[in-house]
Structure 1
Amino acid sequence: MRTRQSIGTRVVAALAVAVLAATACGSGSGADDDRTVIRFLIAPDPLWDFMRDQGIIKKYEAKHNVTIQTNSSWDEFQFFAGGHGDIVSMGTLELPILEKQTKIDTVTFGRYNGFRSTPAALCDKGYKTLEDIPKGGKVGVNSPLSSTILWDIYSREKYGFPVQVGNKETPFKIVVEDHFVLPELLARGDLDAAIIIPEAGARYLRSKKLCYMYGGRASWEVLPELMPNKDHKGVLSNGFTSTKKFYDENPEAIAAFLDLWEEGLKQWAKNKDKIVRTYPQHFSVESPEDIKYVIDYLNSEHDYFQPTVYLDDEWVENEKKIYDLMKQYGLMDKNAEIPEFATVEPPES
C-alpha cells in the first residue's frame, strides 16, 4: 500500500496541480456552514476506505462538528506544497525537505504507520545482512530517498559503508526501480539483493524463492537499534502533519482528527484480515495465496501500523534521533531546523 514518487518530482509538479487541487475535493460528508472544515490529503488508503464504508467518518464528523474534505492522491506532497491542504499524511524523512522547499512551517501531531521494507535476496544465497552481499553486487532500491535513507544510515552505523545512490564509497552498484519490479529482477537473478516491501514480493517470499535478511524484520523494527529507546516503533512512513497555522488556530479540529484516527487504528487491530480481503487493491495483491501472505504478515510482529495515533514526549525524542543521524552523514543540512512535533492529550474516556 501507498508507494511514493521522489520528493523532487513532487515539488516540481506542485504548481501544475494547483488548479486541480483548488477544485478537486472529495469529502467525508457534505460540508455544513457551522462545521470546521479539515482539508486532508492522503494517498489511497484501505483503512480510510474501511472507515468511510462503515460510516465511522460521518459518525466522528458529527460527534466533533467537523467536515473532513479529502484529496485522495498518490502524491499528497504536491497538493500540500501548493497550499491546498490543512493536514497531510507524510513520512518523518520528508518533513525537512517539505519545509525547506515550500517555506511552510509544519507541526507533526499524530502517527499512522512505519517503514516496512527490508533487504532481501534469493534464499539459496543465504545472505543475512547487507554486509554479506559481495562487493560490486547489484542492489535494488525504489528511490534514493525514503527507506533507502534508513538502510543507508543503518549500514554506515553498523558496517561503516554507505548504501546510497551516487555515492562512490558505496560498495554496491545501486539500481533504482519500481517497488513491484524489484522482486521480479531479484527472482530472475538480475540483482544480488533488493530492499523490498512485503506485498510487492508476496509471490516470491511465500514460495521461498526470496528471503528477507535481518530475520525478516521490517525497517521500523531494525532502525530502533540506533535509537536511545530500542523499543521505539518508528521511523514513520506516514504520520499526520499540519500547517503550523492550522494547528495553532484549530486545536479542537486537531483533537477531533486524532480521535477519529485512534478509532481507525482500533478498527485496524480488530479487522485487518477483513480490510485486506475487502480492499486487496490497496496492497496490490490479487491471488488468494498472496492475500493470505499479506494477512499473515500483518498478523505477525511485523505489522507496521502504530498502536496509537497519539505522540508522547519519549516517542518524539526517539523519532527525532533520525535527524541527528541524517545530519551526521550529510543527508541533511547541519544548520537545518528540526521539524516541530507536538503531543496532544487523548480525550478522557
Structure 2
Amino acid sequence: MKVKNALRASAAAALAISVVAACGGSGGSGAAADGEVIRFSFAPDPVWDLLKDSGELSKWEQENNVRVETSTTWDEFTYFAGGHGDIVSMSTQETPVLEQQTGIKTVTFGKYNYQRVPLLKRAGDPYETLEDIPKGSKICVSGPTSNTGFWTVLAQQMHGLDYRVGGGDFQLIVNDHFVNPTNLLRGDCEAAAVIPEAAVPQLRRGELEIMYGGELPFQLYKEFAPNSDDRSHVVGNNFTATEEWYDANPELAKKFLALWQRGIDMFQEQKADVVRKYPQHFSVESEEDIDYVIDFMSGDNDWFVEEVVLEEDWIPAEAEIWTLMKELHPDNANYLPADAPSPRFAAIDPN
C-alpha cells in the first residue's frame, strides 16, 4: 500500500517534529505552571489566530488552568504518527489509515471544517463531471491521498471510473495547489483538483469554473453515499486524539471543544472581518480577491462547520466513507483492506 511506504519513510520526521513541539510553541500563555497541558498540532488557521488575538484563548486557559502547547504544521498526519501529540486535526479518511499503519488507537471527538477541494475546468470546456473527460487525459492533483481520496471514491461510485495516481483511467499529475490553476489554464491538464483559495484570481475573472454544478466535495457526498443524510459530510479536519489521552481526559476534551465552538461562533459572526484581518489564511491579497472570498463563503460554500460536536446520528453516514474506500482498486493509495480498523468517533456535549 503506497500510504504505508510513505508513512514509514516519514516516521523519523514525525518524531523530530514532536520533539520540537514539546520544547515550546505554546499558543497561549495564561495557565498556571502546575495546570494541565494539551499538546495540539494544527495547520495555520484563521480561527485559531482569532482566538489568540482576541484574548479568548488566554482567558480560557486562565479559567480552566490549561495551557495549549501548539505545533504549527501542514502535515498533522506525519506529526501524529510519532505518537507524541495529544490532539491533531485529521480528515475522516485518514484515521483508519493511521490506525492500521501505526497501531495508534484514536478517538475523533469534534469536527472543524469539511472537505472543500473541487474539480476545476477552463471556462468554456464542455466537462461537467469526470465522466465527460476522455479516458487517458491528464488531471492535475495535489497528491495521491487527502482530497484525491474523496474524488477516487466519487469517481467509482458515480461513474465507475478508476481515479488514482499511478494508474487507472486518467493520468493524475501531482503538483502544488497553487501551481495547478496555471497548469490547467495553459493546457497541461484537462481538469484540476484545487483548494478554492489557490484559484481565487482565476475564478473571479471567470477563467476557471467549478465542475459538478459548482458543488464542493462536502456538498457532493450525499449524491453517491448509499446511506448518507441531508447533512454535510466528509470532514477534512476533525479533532482527533489518541485513545489513551481521550480516555484519561474526557472533561478536558469537552473544554477543548468548547474553546473551538467559541472560535467558530466568532468566525461566523464576523466572517468578512476575519477574512480581511487574516487574508493570508485565504491566500488572497487584493481587495477584489478578498471580496470574492467573502462572497464565496457567504452562502452554502462555507466549509467551516457551525457546530463542532459530533451528533450521534451523524456519525454512521460520515463513517460510511470507510466502507466505500474498501471497494477501491487495491493499487489505489486510498484503498482500505477489509480488515482495516473502524476508528472510534465520540459524540460528546461540551457544555
TM-score by length of 2: 0.92
Amino acid at match of 1:152: T
Runs of 4+ in 1 over 4 A off after TM superposition: 6-10
* Separation in 1, partners of 2:207, 2:45: 29
> Which has the larger displacement, 321-330 or 10-19?
10-19
* Separation in 2, partners of 1:301, 1:88: 26
Partner of 1:3: none
Identity %: 45
C-alpha change, 1:186 and 1:12, in structure 2 (3 Å) is farther
| 2:221 equivalent to 1:223 | yes
Partner of 1:328: 327
Partner of 2:94: 94
Structure 2: segments with no counterpart, 5+ residues: 1-5
Q: Give the alignment partner of residue 339 of structure 1, picking from 328, 339, 343.
A: 343
* Separation in 1, partners of 2:266, 2:148: 30
Partner SS, residue 344 of structure 1: coil
How many pairs are equivalent? 340
**How far off its partner does 1:292 sit?**
1.4
Partner of 2:206: 208
Partner SS, residue 26 of structure 1: coil
* Separation in 2, partners of 1:119, 1:101: 29
After superposition, give the CA deviation of every residue in 1:121-174 in whole Å (9 maximum; x if it has no partner): 11111311111112222111111101111111111111111111122xx32221
> Which has the larger displacement, 208-217 or 130-139?
130-139
C-alpha change, 1:140 and 1:13, in structure 2 (3 Å) is same
Partner of 2:64: 64
Partner of 1:186: 184
TM-score by length of 1: 0.93
* 8 A contact 2:140–2:191 mirrored in 1: yes
Q: What's the C-alpha RMSD, in Å, of the aligned pairs?
A: 1.7
Structure 1: segments with no counterpart, 5+ residues: 1-5
> Which has the larger displacement, 17-26 or 256-265?
17-26
Partner of 1:239: 238
> Which has the larger displacement, 28-37 or 312-321?
28-37
Equivalent positions of 1:152-167 (< 5 A) are 152-167=152-167
* 8 A contact 1:220–1:234 mirrored in 2: yes
* Separation in 2, partners of 1:174, 1:85: 33
* Separation in 1, partners of 2:221, 2:12: 31
* Separation in 1, partners of 2:21, 2:81: 11
* 8 A contact 2:120–2:192 mirrored in 1: yes
Amino acid at match of 2:336: M
**How far off its partner does 1:30 sit?**
4.3
* Separation in 2, partners of 1:63, 1:161: 53
* 8 A contact 1:232–1:318 mirrored in 2: no
* Separation in 2, partners of 1:152, 1:30: 45
> Which has the larger displacement, 328-337 or 304-313?
328-337
Equivalent positions of 1:1-349 (< 5 A) are 10-11=10-11, 13-167=13-167, 170-227=168-225, 228-329=227-328, 330=330, 331-347=335-351
